[in-house]
Amino acid sequence: MADKQQLELLKQGVSDWNEWRKNNPEVLVDLEGADLSKYDFIKSYPIGIDFKCANLTRVNLFCTDLDNANFSEANLTEANLQGADLEGVDLDEANLSGANLSDTNLTNTSFYKANLYKANFCEAHCWRTNFRKANLVDAQLNCIDLKEVDLHGANLSGSVLCGASAENQNLSYVNFSNADVRNVYFRDACLQHANLYRANLSEADLEGADFSGANLNEAIFTDSFIDKANFSNANLSKVNFSDFNLSELYFNRANLSGAILARVQAFDTDFTEAVFTGACIEHWKINRNTVLDNIECDFIYLEYSDQKRLPHDSARNFEPGEFASFLKKLFSHFDAIFF
């Protein structure tokens, strides 16, 4: 429970509160469970205060120094924290839905299991920030550096991360479904088993990224850079890779059903046990070193616009291994195949 005398003093105004704090810096301030909704903390001195379980709905903490304060389980819905210093602050399981945290210092800040729905983190400084199991659905995370940030088990579905950087970062199992991740810098990032269903990865730098086991169903890769990326065991159903150079990449056991592979170059690419059913291979280029062992393909399209199908008989599918055998026969006459 909050200290009633301290709470009453705080409500008297910022000047009285600051004067008391300066004269009593050693006193532990306890505002646990207090109702401070819509309170204006501008120019106040709330460093190290215990706000656990407090009601801080729509409070104004603009540019406030909150070092090492405790906001665990507090309600900070639609609070204004823009420019605040939140270094070392505990916000575990707090509700910050709709809060403004743009341009904040989040060094060593913990948001474990916090509700950050539609929160604004644009240009926030994140260093060793803990977002484990946090709800970041529809959050704004534009232009932030996610290196050394813990997002394990976080839900970023529908979030906006345009221009964000996570080079060499572990993002495995993170939910990015329907997220806007255009122009992100995810070079060498680990995205194993991440959910990127319908994520927009346009113009992203994904060189060396590991997407093994990831769900990339209907993801958008327009103008992205995927050199040396690993797509083993990934779900790439209905992905459009038109005009991409997929040479020397790993797609072993990947699901490419319904994918558009028009005009791709796939020299020395590993498609071992990949699923091609319903994919379009219009004008694709492969060579003798393209690995197609044990691929699964019921039918294929040779033209995207006219849906020219193989086998031509729509009532018939390829027999197991028939499509791969068809390609191998062509290789007996040519070093490369251009459909």
pLDDT over 50 (residue 305): yes
The answer to whether residues 17 and 151 belong to one domain is yes
Nearest-angstrom CA–CA distance, 322 and 301: 15
- CATH code of 86's domain: 2.160.20.80
Say what the pLDDT of residue 1 is.
54
- The yes-or-no verdict on residue 25 having pLDDT over 80 is no
Is residue 94 a part of any domain in this protein? yes
Whether 109 and 191 share a structural domain: no
pLDDT above 50: residue 32? yes
User: How many domains in the chain?
Assistant: 3
Per-residue pLDDT, 202: 97
**In this predicted structure, which of 24-28, 106-110, 205-209, 335-339 has the lowest mean pLDDT?**
335-339
Q: Are residues 9 and 101 in the same domain?
A: yes
Bigger pLDDT: 333 vs 203: 203
Q: State the pLDDT confidence band at 333, using cuts at 50, 70 and 90.
A: very low
Q: What percent of the chain has pLDDT over 90?
A: 69
- What confidence tier does 86 reach under pLDDT thresholds 50, 70, 90? very high
Burial class (CB in 10 A: 0-12, 13-18, 19+), 312: exposed
For residues 39-60, average pLDDT: 78
pLDDT digits (tens, 9 = 90+) for 136-175: 999 999 999 998 999 999 999 999 999 999 999 999 999 9
- 267 and 188, same structural domain? no
Q: Which domain holds residue 334?
A: 236-339
User: Strand order of the sheet with strand 285-287?
Assistant: 265-266, 285-287, 336-338
Top-confidence residue, 325 or 195: 195
**Is residue 60's pLDDT more than 70?**
yes
Residues 288/257, Cβ–Cβ less than 8 Å: no
Q: Is 323 exposed, middle or buried (0-12, 13-18, 19+ CB in 10 A)?
A: buried
The pLDDT confidence band at residue 87, using thresholds 50, 70 and 90, is very high
Provide the pLDDT for residue 324: 81
Please check whether residues 199 and 63 belong to one and the same domain.
Answer: no
| Structural domain includes residue 142 | no
Q: What pLDDT digit, counting tens, does each position of 235-267 carry?
A: 999 999 999 999 999 999 999 999 999 999 999
3-state helix, strand, coil in the chain (%, to 5): 10, 20, 70
**Residue that wins the pLDDT comparison between 49 and 145:** 145
Reported as a pLDDT band with limits 50, 70 and 90, residue 47 is low
Residue type, 54: A
Is 253 in the same domain as 216?
no
Give 334's pLDDT tier (boundaries 50, 70, 90): very low
% of the chain residues with pLDDT over 70: 91
Judge whether residue 17 has pLDDT over 90.
no
Rounded distance between C-alpha atoms, residue 296 and residue 274, angstroms: 6
Q: What average pLDDT score do residues 312-331 get?
A: 81
At which of 211, 231, 251 does a domain end?
A: 231
**Is the preceding omega at residue 311 within 30 degrees of 0, hence cis?**
yes
